[in-house]
Amino acid sequence: MSTNPAENPAFASHDHSDCVERVLATAETLCKDRKVRLTPIRRQALEILISEHKALGAYDILAELSARGQAAHPPVAYRALDFLVTHGLAHKIERLAAYVACAHPGERHRPAFLICRICQLVAEAHVPNNEGALGSAAKALGFQIEETVIEAEGICPECQKAAA
Amino acid sequence: MSTNPAENPAFASHDHSDCVERVLATAETLCKDRKVRLTPIRRQALEILISEHKALGAYDILAELSARGQAAHPPVAYRALDFLVTHGLAHKIERLAAYVACAHPGERHRPAFLICRICQLVAEAHVPNNEGALGSAAKALGFQIEETVIEAEGICPECQKAAA
DNA sequence: GGCTTTGTGTTATAAAGTTTCAACGCAACA
DNA sequence: TGTTGCGTTGAAACTTTATAACACAAAGCC
């Protein structure tokens, strides 16, 4: 898996079924290692998320789960998403109140996201754990960071071309 | 107004009525300059926000406005907050779905926030426009950033002491 | 098997944010 | 001195996002 942002595939066309298989396999392994259960609902939720690079709302996931025959009450989706987020298999995009599959499952990382406001695609950039500016501001204040939310909204290369 | 994060007052006690007066005065000037109206509702919303360094939900503002005799329908609060955010007088903390008064009104800046998950205080750090890691990731991908959300959740110095 | 832990099904409800339309207020300007 | 235009406010209804609570089922363990 590439760690070079320039090779991030989200904004470029690529073989997606590959992508899906790869992440699902990693998820299986990761859950086995941690002795947690990737139950059918959780697996399907992840599958639905990876099938898009878009961020999906909890209720989008819910609708898709329901279409696949699962019970369709909100807690079903939220519980699956909580599990995925807790185990680093998915991330929440706060700006959109929506979720994306993690592009680097298993790797320790502070995720950062580039959100296209035209096509809704979301790319996960690989940002070093030491947040330059944010990290030093926290250090200077004596603030102890536990989690970070780093999101940029703007226009992806494809949509810039389309607009030009 | 200090631009040195080490002097950021949010996590230290300080004369708060000063703070309120200063920001309100700046807001008045800024609105006059831009020929937009800091109406009573908007002014009160800002006043309510500055009175705390905490992030307040739209419905908290709404309740307080209502207590002061204003109409108490959600759009009242959201419209006031939209105005404040648009003109850089307040920021939305996505992580909390809540709002804080801007600590540097008028200055061009990409805000970054340190959110204490114990006492709910929020400090606004002064981060340079050039987002180190995020900026270069965007550049590498050809992504054009319009807005950024940079938030860290953790424990502030006071609460660390209290816990020790 | 019996016990414990973890996950699921379901109802209900809370919290956050939007749409819509009518009416008001105030400034500009003939 | 109207009256016209535009930004602001009042109000009702509604949508979207998220959680609480509780009963039941299924898996893991001795």
Query: Which chain A residues 47-106 have CB under 7 A to strand D?
Result: 57-59, 73-75, 78, 97-98
A134, A144, A160: residue with CB nearest B144 = A160
> How far is residue A137 from each of residues A26, A43, A86, B10, B71, measured CA to CA in Å?
35, 39, 27, 13, 40
d(CA A90, CA A48): 11
> How far apart (Å, rounded) are the C-alpha atoms in residues B132 and A66?
42
Mean pLDDT in residue range A20-29: 92
B138 vs A114, A134, A137: nearest CB: A114
Average pLDDT, chain A: 88
Specify whether the CB–CB gap between B133 and A108 falls below 8 A: no
Which of A96-100, B6-10, B124-128 is most confident? A96-100
Residue in the structure block whose two tokens are 């500055």: B50
Residues A81 and B105 sit within 8 Å (Cβ to Cβ): no
Say yes or no to pLDDT of B80 above 60.
yes
pLDDT digits (tens, 9 = 90+) for A81-137: 999 999 999 999 999 999 999 988 877 788 999 999 998 899 998 777 665 778 888
What are the backbone dihedrals phi and psi of residue B6, each rounded to the nearest 5 degrees, phi first? Answer: -65, -20
Asked whether the beta carbons of B46 and B63 are under 8 A apart, the reply is no
pLDDT at B7 over 50: no
How distant is C1' of C4 from CA of A34, in Å? Answer: 20
Strands (E), chain B: 90-93, 98-101, 110-116, 122-127, 144-155
